[in-house]
Amino acid sequence: MSQISTVQAPAIEVKNLEIEIMGGQGPFSVVSDMNLSVRPGETLCIVGESGCGKSMTALSLLRLLPEAAKVTKGEIRIDGEDFLTMGQRQVEQFRGEKIAMIFQEPLTALNPVLRVGEQISEAVRAHRKCSGAEAHARAVEVLRMVQMPDPERRATQFPHELSGGMRQRAMIALALACDPKIIIADEPTTALDVTIQAQILGLISDLQKRLGTAQILITHDLGVVSEVADRVIVMYAGRKIEEASIFDLFDNPIHPYTIGLMGAVPGAGAASEDGDRLADIPGTVPPLWNLPKGCAFAPRCPTASARCLEERPPLVEKRPGHWAACWDHVDAA
């Protein structure tokens, strides 16, 4: 976990974000009432099952939503400036210079017909006044920074000539090339084997501490969260249902969904009765275009009451710095 100055203003702040998508059933919300802030040097992890709105939230922070999706409400402030009202030219300047993204699959994110060094150099020249030689030198420098073996040679290669781990390092180098203040990492180790995953996560964490960037890490892996997070947001069916410091969340989870996630992770939750099998969460996530009337988790919740089925719980502070959206106040005092 990183060292954070509590007096620093947030590098990025999101207020009441709403994202809507046009589907076959008509428009529906994929993210609702999202609020978050991240300070320089802090790592915020957003966790949840596939389809809960994690990646849509991440893409909205760079204004890279797919055509069918749009932000219908809220604010995204980067260094105090409203990112959503900026013109396209200013948005492009902010991307790379103020905020950058490490994508899930670098083979599709990197340009297959440009050498790795050319892609990084192009990004540098778009944001800095420098010669081609200076931009190339910066490309090699950031490749070395991300511990790319033989960075001078790798800069001359195409993405398909690199291994999965090397491509991810190249993706990280591209994101860091212009010293952004905010890094968004969307499932950055999903396509890698376990050994390489650990290396990449360690690299991202080390660089974040050294450079003092604000980081938002999107993941479904609570093991990853436990290693790198300062604070955690848990999402379910497009909404934030719990937020706390990493220590408080793991020691004292409040929402039944979070408790269920902990129980499904080896070593994180309570052991099952036979001591061998992990706990599971019964049922399935409801479709976002047809959410239940009350709490979206109520049909799967072991402690749901009649109120849970009828009324959607607000996100409230149950303990200092620990927020949850649940009518059940057990262990929340």
pLDDT band of 333, cuts 50, 70, 90: very low
What tens digit of pLDDT does each residue of 43-93 get? 999 999 888 999 999 999 999 999 999 999 999 999 889 999 999 999 999
Q: Does residue 231 contact residue 44 with C-beta atoms inside 8 Å?
A: yes
* 35 vs 222 pLDDT, higher one: 35
Distance CA 103, CA 187 (A): 7
User: CA separation (Å) from 307 to 142, 162, 298, 304, 327?
Assistant: 54, 55, 10, 8, 8
Q: Does residue 14 contact residue 74 with C-beta atoms inside 8 Å?
A: yes
CATH topology of domain 12-40+52-186: Rossmann fold (3.40.50)
Q: Which residues of 96-124 are buried (b: 16+ CB within 10 A; e: fewer)?
A: bbbbbbbbbbbeebbeeeebbbbbbbbbb
Q: Which of 265, 185, 252 is nearest to 222 (CA)?
A: 265
Helix, strand or coil, per DSSP, at residue 188 = coil
Q: Which of 204, 216, 160 is nearest to 17 (CA)?
A: 216
The partner residues of 43 in beta bridges, in order of sequence, read 215
Query: Where in the chain are the domains?
Result: 12-40+52-186, 239-324
Report the pLDDT averaged over residues 119-137.
Answer: 94
Is the pLDDT assigned to residue 270 strictly greater than 70?
Answer: no
For residue 331, the number of C-alpha atoms closer than 13 Å in the C-beta half-sphere is: 12
Q: Judging by beta carbons within 10 Å of its beta carbon (0-12, 13-18, 19+), is residue 209 exposed, middle or buried? A: middle
